[in-house]
Amino acid sequence: MSQFHQALLIGSTILLSWFGMQQVHELGHVVGAILTGGTVKRVVVHPAAISRTDLATNPKPLLVAWAGSLFGAVAPTCFWGMLSLLRVPGAFVMRFFAGFCLIANGAYIAFGSLPRIGDSADLLSHGAPMWQLWFFGAVTIPLGLLLWNGQGVHFGLGATPHRVSPPIAWGTFFACFVVLLVGVCIGGN
């Protein structure tokens, strides 16, 4: 049964990280739009689509474009920090998620600047200099890798793996299910 829980934990963590990262990133755009007087037209976070936030009005497009990746990197990291300080069992899953969000948002902004895609294109077209996009990636990607460092043992991997906790594996599966359900229910194409 231990290998089952290990596979459940790893698979759920990877899916949760991908779809959760998209939802937190888009939430950043939504919060940025609302705080700057913009109007959200549609948020797409469906699991079968590439996430995006469409705005009806956007008086501060540069701030809203930055808000997705900034919030998407900072919010999960702060949440992991809180869980870690409270010594919540399974906080390592949130640590993995925070690392994933840092890496994904940093790579999206830095490397997306070359072909000028997505938020990177918006940032550049609204006046952000290229060096800021690369600096963001140069900070967030290594921080994400640092958060990942040594975490394999919690997933039952490595030279001295820990035993995978069935309640944490099932809790991660449930969290993954909720994130997917949210994506299907609110995030249409």
Residue % of the chain over a pLDDT of 90 = 93
- For residue 174, which of 64, 15, 2, 4 has the smallest C-alpha distance? 15
Q: What digits encode the pLDDT tens for the residues 105-148?
A: 999 999 999 999 999 999 999 999 999 999 999 999 999 999 99
Extract long-range pairs of 118-125: CB within 8 Å, 24+ residues apart.
Answer: 119/65, 119/68, 119/69, 122/61, 122/65, 123/62, 123/65, 123/66
* pLDDT score recorded for residue 159: 87
For residue 66, give the nearest of 19, 22, 119 by alpha carbon.
Answer: 119
9: its two tokens: 């934990």
Whether 1 has a pLDDT exceeding 60, the answer reads no
* DSSP assignment of 120-166: HHHHHHTT--HHHHHHHHHHHHHHHHHHHTTGGGGGT-SSSPPPPPH
Tokens of 51: 């996430």
Provide the residue type at 147 as one letter.
Answer: L
Q: What angle do CA 73, 17, 5 make, to 5 degrees?
A: 145
Tell me the pTM. Answer: 0.94
Domains in the chain: boundaries: 2-23+73-183
Dist. CA 91–CA 151, nearest whole Å? 11
Give percent of the chain above pLDDT 70: 98
pLDDT at 83: 96
Q: Residue 43 gets which letter from DSSP? A: E
Cα 162 to Cα 165: distance, rounded to the nearest angstrom: 9
Q: Quote helix, strand, coil % in the chain, to nearest 5.
A: 70, 5, 25
